[in-house]
Every structure is written in C-alpha cells, then in structure tokens.
Amino acid sequence: MLYSKVPNQMKTMKRYLILLIAGVFTCGCASVNVKHVEANDTSDGVHFCEPQPYLLVGKVVKNDKDGNALPPEFSSQIIYLPNPKQRYAVTISPGWGTVDGSVKLINGWMLDTVGSKMDSKIPETITAISGLVKEAAAAADQRPEGLYRIDIDPKTQAVSLHKEPGWK
C-alpha cells in the first residue's frame, strides 16, 4: 500500500519542479534598462539628459599699476549643459538574480553611473581644442568671449564649435 502512493507523489513533485523551472525561465533575469524618451515623456524611471559640451570664453580686463588698461586676456572653461533632444529613462526590471540598480545623477540631470563607471576621452579632446577658439577669434578680429556649443561628429570625431546667440 505504501508503494502505491510513492509513484503519485513522485509525479506530483515532478510537476511542481517543472512548474518551478518554467516560472524561473518565464520571469526573466533582473536587468537595468536605458531607453530614449521624448522631451515630454512622464513614464516611470529615472530621467536624464545626455550632456552637451560647451566652451565658455570670458574676457578678463586688467589694469597696470598706473590704472591703464592692459590688453585683454581671455579665460576658457568647458561646461556641460543638458541636451533636451537626447533624453533617456533608466528603469530597473526585477527578475531572477540580482542587479546593481544604482543610478547616480550629477546636477540632477546628467547620468554619472548605472552600477558601473563610464569613462571617455572626450573631455581631454575638448580641453585640447579650447585654446583654438581664442586664437581663431583673434585672427578673425572678432570678440571671442561667449558660449560655444561643441559638436563632435560620431563617425569622423571631427570637432566643430558653434557660437550660441545672445551670449556675450
């Protein structure tokens, strides 16, 4: 009598095991998803904008010890501002396993990390070309101070500068 129940219990255990395995495969793995969204999107997740590099050139006016104006000097600084045309949302999908779902933003809009650090050589490239603006403006006898959007061609890595209107 005892042996007649064992095969039924084994069948039941096999069914539960098959259901458990099927459940594991159908629920998927835990993941972090990053997707492009429109500017007016209000979906769940952490929203951020891709940074757009800008070169800020300022004029520094100095006087000598007698109060006479010296030739102007220029300072330059690379700054990053949000590009609303490149907006993204990070969502964390639960599932089988674990995921480092940490999302760190800088200044409330620029993605810094999603579980791991990102690194590129673009800031070094931009810094290297920042001196060219002052020289080019001086050669063209133009006012170099202002805000310049820095565009980097993704295919050729060519760098171009575009002066933003309305900035002095």
pLDDT band at 118 (very low <50, low <70, confident <90, very high): very low
- Strand 73-93 relative to strand 103-106, pairing: unpaired
pLDDT computed for residue 7 by the predictor: 60
Q: Which is more confidently placed, 13 or 85?
A: 85
* Cα–Cα distance measured from residue 124 to residue 150, given in angstroms and rounded to the nearest whole number: 13
Listed residue (85, 65, 66, 74) closest to 137, CA to CA: 74
Mean pLDDT of 107-126: 63
pLDDT computed for residue 119 by the predictor: 44
pLDDT of 76 strictly over 50: yes
Most confident residue range from 66-70, 100-104, 140-144, 150-154? 66-70
Mean pLDDT of 77-106: 80
pLDDT band at 168 (very low <50, low <70, confident <90, very high): low
Mean pLDDT of 16-36: 65
pLDDT of 1 strictly over 70: no
